[in-house]
Amino acid sequence: MSDIADRVKKIVVEHLGVEEDKITDNASFIDDLGADSLDTVELVMAFEEEFGIEIPDDAAENIQTFGDAVKFISEAK
């Protein structure tokens, strides 16, 4: 697994308090990992900080799953 995926996973575990093995590529933050809308905003903030990138609002809306997040960050960096 890539370094980016590991770091994203660590953030998700910390923020949502979920088991690491539940975080699969297709795991939806809201439907599968128990996040509410405010959690998703916080996750995006945490990703921005961890990776030193800007995630615009329209892009943030499309980040629904763990896989989406890793893909977006990999492309943004």
Partner 1 sequence: MFDLTGKSALVTGASGGIGAAIARALHGAGAQVALSGTREDPLRALAGELGQGAHVVPCNLSDPQAVDALPKAASAAMGSLDILVNNAGITRDNLFMRMSDDDWNAVIDVNLTATMRLCRGAIRGMMKARWGRIVNIGSVVGAIGNPGQANYAAAKAGMVGLSKALAHEVAARNITVNCVAPGFISTAMTEKLTEDQRAGLMQKIPAGRMGEADEVAGAVLYLASPVAGYVTGATLHVNGGMAML
Known catalytic residues? Answer: 36
SS3 for 31-52 is CCCCCCHHHHHHHHHHHHHHHC
Rounded least distance, CB 15 to partner 1, Å: 11
Tokens of 36: 């509410």
The verdict on 45 binding partner 1 (CB under 8 A) reads: yes
Give the nearer residue to partner 1 in terms of CB position, either 7 or 71.
7
Rounded least distance, CB 32 to partner 1, Å: 20
The verdict on 42 binding partner 1 (CB under 8 A) reads: yes
Burial class from Cβ neighbours inside 10 Å (0-12, 13-18, 19+) for residue 64 reads middle
**What is the total count of residues that contact partner 1 (CB under 8 A)?**
3
Q: How far apart are CA 49 and CA 40, in angstroms?
A: 14
The residues of the shown chain that bind partner 1, judged by CB under 8 A, are 38, 42, 45
